[in-house]
Structure 1
């Protein structure tokens, strides 16, 4: 970045970058995980976490502790940190941070759509939504009692309205193919976010390009793998793949025609990163492909912190903290179930 660009970045966003780097310093280390794994009970676990950046975040929770309670409080800490950043952001960082909340909104809306089909009270479902995926007009969705009403509210009065209007029709919604709807929205979101990052240029475009290309490729592979043995037709599967990524276009076209796991392995063979991830998962009985993907995502997110004056660290921090919360939940559940043989199946972040 040119000196003038650095100065402009520091003027507008340098303070928030410094804050996020401070938050990153509080991410659990390998030594912290080793200490957590020594705990015999969740009360020990609670006490051990007080020696980390989490501090006394569980001090008001009565015993016995539940794993879900620990994860909920860890997630609340992340949400509070993210909101502290986003409320101070100016453009274009403010819009970039809005994009980071859209995946949570998509998952929340899918939860509400599913609940509407099952005739559940939407106001109760909102309590189960991820806090980062809440938005001001979500309360208006509570008045919807039919798929038609819910669709109208979504396309008129939610941040995801452009994606719904472009990609999801009322007929799609009433067909109740929820996973297709979810993946269609994610595709539209990722393509839009990728283009936005490329327009920002500089290190943000470079680093977010790598992160989002990986996300697009991971989703393409997962969609393909999960489609085997289902009613999803190949042309429908192809429509869910993003139009960018390392696998695009040749690998994507071949994935669209894949019939089984062995054909997927053959298709990704020329792509060194995915060949290594596939081999790592297939050669280790204690690891699956999703674990390998999570490990690589952590690797990419950590790399984002090696450069300065860019927005990718905000995305990377969210990804690293989400992995940390999964780790905390996994270790806590193993302790709760007294199943220490699987205790070490977490992904070290730092």
Structure 2
């Protein structure tokens, strides 16, 4: 009993010390976050937005909120509000806030923000490569890229000729902030070969041979899977218990959504929906993180049509979501 009481006193003392020093590193960022949270739209505002019948009413509802100035300054004089522009302005506003908090924070908050943004950066890399292949200019692409995934090195990406992603990987991708995920992707697809060691330099022929069977969307899915797993593991080991629990729940949901999307999209491709494709190829893209793994893994691996996918997701929260989509 004395040991238990003594242990509780030590824990209370440690908690007291932690609370006493909390303001040194985290006080200002916490104040910023509390302030930003107060700017969130209330249920009442959302209710008013739902009842808006035109753009003028929509502007009128939001003009007195924290979003009003950011969203509508450039839209003055325009009768209609473009949804794409509103979306980009909202994301740019969020990115500006992230960058400001990042500049005021220390570990682990700064590392958390950086790792979180890596997911958007991977999507932007693929968006730029795809856009350049389609003949669009870099300036045009940078203007339409996701603000949450912007980083200066994006402009270093060059057009790809004949799907030569191997050369692009060697010259540009490996040096990007998200280059580590592309490197790990290369190690995965060359497992057992000379390139499986991070310390071994891969020559261009080896890389080209390894990547010849992958299109851009497949590379994106594999790289995003690596990012998601690493972010999940980092949150589990580096954040405090409460933060880790919240983030792991969110990332599990993200992983499940990716799994469902991958399976749904694969149904249109024979090489991914036949027996061999389901058991071998499709599993390469499906995450081990999530509420669907491992309990539903076997059922999902057998899915070859939408009805089978609904059965595999029976009695999960996603069943109702898919039912709405299929109505």
TM-score bin (small chain): 0.7 to 0.9
Is residue 32–residue 52 contact of structure 1 (8 Å, CA) maintained in 2?
A: no
How far apart are 1:40 and its partner, in Å? Answer: 3.2
**Mapping of residues 67-82 of structure 1, within 5 Å:** 67-82=83-98
Tell me the residue number matched to 2:215.
177
Deviation of the 1:56 alpha carbon: 2.4
CA shift, 1:238, in A, is 0.6
Say if 1:35 and 1:48, in contact at 8 Å, map to a contact too.
Answer: yes
Using a 3 Å threshold, how does the CA distance of structure 1 residues 34 and 170 change in structure 2: closer, same or farther? farther
Within 5 Å, which residues of 2 pair with 1:1-350? 2-57=15-70, 58-61=72-75, 62-64=77-79, 65-142=81-158, 147-168=165-186, 170=208, 177-200=215-238, 201-230=240-269, 231-232=271-272, 233-234=277-278, 235-269=280-314, 272=315, 275-279=316-320, 281-282=322-323, 287-288=324-325
- Identify the structure with bigger relative contact order (alpha carbons < 8 Å, sequence gap 6+): 1
State the 1:17 CA deviation.
2.4
- The alpha-carbon distance between structure 1 residues 33 and 173, as it changes in their structure 2 partners (threshold 3 A), is farther
The structure whose Rg is larger is 2
Segments of 5+ residues of structure 1 without an aligned counterpart are 290-350
Residues in 2 aligned to 1:159 and 1:41: alpha-carbon distance in whole angstroms: 42
RMSD of aligned Cα (Å): 2.6
Corresponding residue for residue 202 of structure 2: none
Distance across 2 between alignment mates of 1:66 and 1:120: 22
8 Å CA contact 1:154–1:164 kept in 2: the answer is no
Query: How many Å separate the matches in 2 of 1:28 and 1:223?
Result: 33
Aligned equivalent of 1:297: none
* Unmatched tracts of structure 2, length 5 or more: 1-10, 187-206
CA positional deviation for 1:10: 3.8
Give 1:188 shift.
0.2
Deviations 1:283-328 (A, max 9, x none): xxxx428xxxxxxxxxxxxxxxxxxxxxxxxxxxxxxxxxxxxxxx
* Shift, 1:125, TM fit: 1.6
Instruction: Report the secondary structure of 1:152's partner residue.
Output: helix
TM-score, normalization by structure 1: 0.72
Q: CA deviation at 1:173?
A: 5.6
Output the TM-score relative to the length of structure 2.
0.76
Size of the aligned set, in residue pairs, is: 281
